[in-house]
A and B are shown apart, each in its own frame.
Chain A
Amino acid sequence: MDIVVCIKQVPDTTEIKINPVTGTLIRDGVPSIMNPDDKGGLEVALRMKDSMRANVTVITMGPPQADAILREALAMGADRAILLTDRKFAGADTLATSNALAGALKCLKWDLVITGRQAIDGDTAQVGPQTAEHLGIPQISYVTDLVHENGNMFSARKETEDGYQILEFETPALITVLSSANKARYMSVRGIVEAYGKEVEVWGADKIDVPEEKLGLKGSPTKVKQAFAKGLKGAGEFYEVDPEEAVSIIISKLKEKFII
């Protein structure tokens, strides 16, 4: 069985701070990490490798320095790594990203494609399902468990707002995985040593059969018109009143904020 896991390098958003004077983002020195949901997806694939000798390929689209997360994936146990990098991919929204990924996936052999549910820098959860549509295969999103039934039959546990569902499907298919699905393994010392001996294949836009107008900024139906910081917090309100009145104040504020 062949599995391709799509991963993304992201800034660790929990480390981003706001400059208290200017109200702008401080991105300097923010570490880059493998997106947590993608790592959960990679772990699902590696467990399939452990249990049924699946062959695991990782692929990422990003700048040349995204090589780091591919090495990390190799050190965790992935067999092959591909870096999709080209100026023509730059400025891609989710649809243009999925066009490029689907193009690359069409050059590979696989039974199952795994992506993370969403990336912590965008939180859209769109690239997985969009890629599945381009490939003409079913998707199961929000997966926390994958079980091989028999042959090419699998069942997945999909998380929902008020519980979960068990869905049965046949490969080829694409699943999007939550980081809470598992506890991803660490890189092994041997894995790290080997990872630096392995080749990371670098693919440009010419390697995939996707028209240029479907890639990068050009291929993006959505554009950012404006970006702005949330702004600094104004001084809060403060009350010293009896409990009844305090409760009324809280309720009216929550209504004002559309929370209730």
Chain B
Amino acid sequence: MAEPRTIDIKDQPGFRSIAIICLLVLYVPVLILMIFSLNSGSLVTHWEGVTLGWYGSALRNAEFHNAARNTLIISVTATIVSTICATLAAIGMTRVKPWRGLSAAFMVINLPLMVPEIITAVATLSFFALIAGMFGLNFGIGNLILAHTVFCIPFAYMPIRARLEDMDLTLEYAAADLYATPWNAFRRITLPLLVPGIMSGAALAFIVSFDDFTITQLVAGPGQTTLPLYIWNQIRRPMTPEINAISTILLLVSILFVSVSFLIARQRAK
């Protein structure tokens, strides 16, 4: 036995069956949802034949269009703003002299991850109700963008900070040594090397904002229906496979988005 033996997970008793059960529980419902989007009948529980008709009617549905546009406006804006904030926060907390309140700031940024979302939702609702009542301020869809931006920041912050902490500080010393001002060193060295972290932070923020329900449900005003809210409203009526088609479209968009950001991150990391 010359070579030290490492444990092979596949040899562990029960590994195979537990893994299969987990995969089934996770993905079979999704798979069934996707299959029934092709059902030619009008029930989501009774299979009659194959059709793409529900995709057609979903894509022609004006309410769906409206919800999709709202969702994209909110998610994209919230992703961009929260990623910028998270990047600045991560730099301000790793690339500076330790300052008083540094660990407190870290806690505050990450607290939203631990607070139950319904509490954040109620608090956000009260906040907007308060400023509407006191100052008559209502930003319309801006309320939702603001709320999404705030709760996306910790999600974007985590991977960016991790990347900054893993980065070799000597590279920044080397840049300074080679006459790069702090701004140039950041622009030419730190930022390009940080891109994979920023990409995964942004992807995470986008997904979190894209499918947020709880906060959106409470904060959204009339005409501010997002896709999750739209789906929620639909399933309270008699359901048709159109819902399945819409859900499948959402799923494919998410998968596409995550894959692209993953590929970009991997490309940059090379």
Same complex origin of A and B: no
Taking Cβ atoms with an 8 Å cutoff, the residues of A that contact B are none
Taking Cβ atoms with an 8 Å cutoff, the residues of B that contact A are none
